[in-house]
Amino acid sequence: MTTPTRVLVLNSGSSSVKYQLLDMRDDRRLAQGLVERIGEETSRLVHTPLLAGGGGKRERTGPIADHAEALKLVSEELAADGLGLDSPELAAIGHRVVHGGLRFTAPTVIDDAVLAEIERLVPVAPLHNPANLVGIRTATALRPDLPQVAVFDTAFHTTMPEAAARYAIDVETADAHRIRRYGFHGTSHAYVSRETARLLGKAPEEVNVIVLHLGNGASASAVRGGRCVDTSMGLTPLEGLVMGTRSGDVDPAVTFHLMRVAGMSADEIDVLLNKRSGLVGLCGDNDMREIRRRIDEGDERAALAFDVYVHRLKKYIGAYYAVLGRVDAVAFTAGVGENAAPVREAAVAGLEELGLAVDAGLNAVRSDEARIVSPEYARVAVAVVPTDEELEIARQSYALVREGSSGAHEQDTEK
Ligand code: AMP
């Protein structure tokens, strides 16, 4: 019998499932897709076969009741490409799980105890962990014999020292409610920091990197020798950088001030800070392309939004420079980081004394490849490194399953 080498990666949100099927012999993507608006009348499945001769994108619209039905349809689409979930070539299903608390420092094969622990963390990740659990349960029902692996967004950050992870609030209260800084986007920070080292021709252990994951959600991390020592998101993904719709850092007193003077409820403030803030709150748009277009037309609110965004980013670069002491590279990634040259340029402008600069020509080049955009003379490399969370989840899941089947079952907590 052939050794199974394929991994299906599932990223389950509250009303969506994103998936990719990869062959781990050469990291090749065989198919990918998205089911969105699950539970609504206007659900949609978009499936893209990526094998040669697989044909183009296929789309289904119409109501999809729940995640179970969504996964059944995904399974049918994959089967139509000869890649069905019943295939003996499938080695594992890797699930993105947003919150792993402190317990999960590495990818983990899911069993009842792991499910219970992910469930126990729902109060600190009320939007994400329930959806992840539904995805896991549905996939398990479909292939109960197959290893289901959880890859946690928080795992990479569990190496943060207490000095960075602790909030300076009453210790008993914090511990009773598990209030501390966990960090998110960890799969991306892990992948990008490693790829940056590769780009520099060094081992991850040899380099210190500031990773700026700037998508609709955004976070920064300070990575010393491959280990995260600080990150900008905290108890939830609300803390830190200015994001598409989230405020990032605000004085916590804003919350009770709004309760007292505006009569807003906790839920209303939650929506304000998570959905009606950040770039969208400042100027009405959260897409950096649109903001740049408006700035070019002389729009002052768009210019303000950009300035607030970049100011915060620059502050975090400075802060993490200080945390690390020595920085080898600053790596930009995700939608904004990979594509918005003006953001990269503005974020490091004026930081020449820190050894940071971008080369205008290199920075303007559009490419899907990891690349350095700083001038030769710069002491610190400024890199653009496309993130690939699905590949990272697939690699971690596959490595874990292979380790298990070869009998070498030491728990790898060194990440
Ligand atoms: P992500 O969450 O990583 O998918 O990033 C999504 C965000 O990336 C969008 O909201 C845009 O603000 C930004 N983005 C995507 N493409 C571009 C582009 N070509 N130029 C500037 N920003 C972009």
Helix H, strand E, coil C: the string for the chain is: CCCCCEEEEEEECCCCEEEEEEECCCCEEEEEEEEECCCCCCCEEEEEECCCCCCCCEEEECCCCCHHHHHHHHHHHHHHCCCCCCCCCEEEEEEEECCCCCCCCCCEECCHHHHHHHHHCHHHCCCCHHHHHHHHHHHHHHCCCCCEEEEECCHHHHHCCHHHHCCCCCHHHHHHCCCCCCCCCHHHHHHHHHHHHHHCCCCHHHCEEEEEEECCCEEEEEEECCEEEEECCCCCCCCCCCCCCCCCCCCCHHHHHHHHHHCCCHHHHHHHHHHCCHHHHHHCCCCHHHHHHHHHCCCHHHHHHHHHHHHHHHHHHHHHHHHHCCCCEEEEEHHHHHHCHHHHHHHHCCCHHHCCCCCHHHHHCCCCCCEECCCCCCCCEEEECCCCHHHHHHHHHHHHHHHHHCCCCCCCCCC
**Confidence bin at 268 (pLDDT 50/70/90):** very high
- pLDDT at 413 (0 to 100): 35
> Of the given ranges (52-56, 57-61, 205-209), which has the lowest mean pLDDT?
52-56
397, 412, 353, 343: which is closest to 373 by C-alpha? 343
Residue nearest to atom 15 of ligand 1 (CA): 335
Distance 99 CA to ligand 1 centre (A): 24
In a mutational test of the pocket of ligand 1, which residue from 184, 288, 293, 368 has the highest number of ligand atoms less than 8 Å from its CB? 288
Cβ of 288 less than 6 Å from ligand 1: yes
Distance 334 CA to ligand 1 centre (A): 7
Tell how far the Cα of 288 is from the centroid of ligand 1, in angstroms: 6
State both tokens at 157. Answer: 């950050």
Can you tell me which atom of ligand 1 is nearest the CA of 216? Answer: 2
CB 365 within 8 A of CB 114: no
Buried b (16+ CB within 10 A) or exposed e, 87-113: eeebbbbbbbbbbbbeebbbbbebeee
- Ligand 1, closest atom to CA 291? 12
For residue 217, which atom of ligand 1 is closest to its CA? 2
Residue identifier of the C-alpha nearest atom 16 of ligand 1: 335
Residues 85 and 92: their CA atoms lie apart, in Å, by 10
CA of 242 to the centre of ligand 1 (A): 14
Cβ 231 vs Cβ 239: under 8 Å: no
CA 157 to chain centre: 12
- For residue 293 and ligand 1, the question of a CB distance below 6 A is answered with no
Q: How far apart are CA 277 and CA 226, in angstroms?
A: 33
Nearest CA to ligand 1 atom 1: 215
Which atom of ligand 1 lies nearest, measured to the CA of 214? 3
339 Cβ below 6 A of ligand 1: yes
The stretch 30-36 carries a mean pLDDT of 95
Of residues 250 and 54, the one with the higher pLDDT is 250
Domains of the chain and any CATH numbers = 6-152+390-403 (3.30.420.40), 203-384 (3.30.420.40)
Cα–Cα distance, 90 to 21 (Å, whole number): 9
Ligand 1, atom 8: nearest CA belongs to which residue? 335
Q: How do residues 132-172 score in pLDDT, each as one tens digit?
A: 999 999 999 989 999 999 999 999 999 999 999 999 999 99
Q: How far is the CA of 299 from the centre of ligand 1 (A)?
A: 20
Q: Which atom of ligand 1 is nearest to the CA of 340?
A: 21
pLDDT band at 62 (very low <50, low <70, confident <90, very high): very high
340 CB less than 6 Å from ligand 1?
Answer: yes
Percent with pLDDT over 70 in the chain: 97
For position 409, what pLDDT does the model report?
A: 34
- On the question of pLDDT at 343 being above 70, the answer is yes
- Residue 260 zone, left/alpha/beta (φ > 0; ψ -120 to 50; rest): alpha
**β-strand partners of 163:** none
Quote the ligand 1 centre to 128 CA distance (angstroms): 22
Q: Which amino acid is at 38?
A: I
Give the residues across from 210 on adjacent strands: 222, 330
216 Cα to the center of ligand 1, angstroms:
7
Model confidence at 55, in pLDDT bands (50, 70, 90)? confident
Instruction: Please state, in angstroms and rounded to a whole number, the distance separating the CA atoms of residues 160 and 231.
Output: 8
Q: What angle do CA 308, 246, 367 make, to 5 degrees?
A: 70
Q: What is the pLDDT of residues 271-320, one digit of tens each?
A: 999 999 999 999 999 999 999 999 999 999 999 999 999 999 999 999 99
Q: Is 153 in the active site?
A: yes
Q: Output the residue whose Cα is nearest ligand 1's atom 10.
A: 287
Give the mean pLDDT of 376-383.
96
Q: Give the distance (Å) from ligand 1 centre to CA of residue 183.
A: 21
Q: Which of 27, 86, 145, 153 is catalytic?
A: 153
Pocket test for ligand 1, best of 216, 286, 343, 368 (most atoms within 8 A of CB): 216
For residues 213 and 211, give the distance between their C-alpha atoms in angstroms, rounded to a whole number.
6
Atom of ligand 1 nearest to the CA of 213: 3
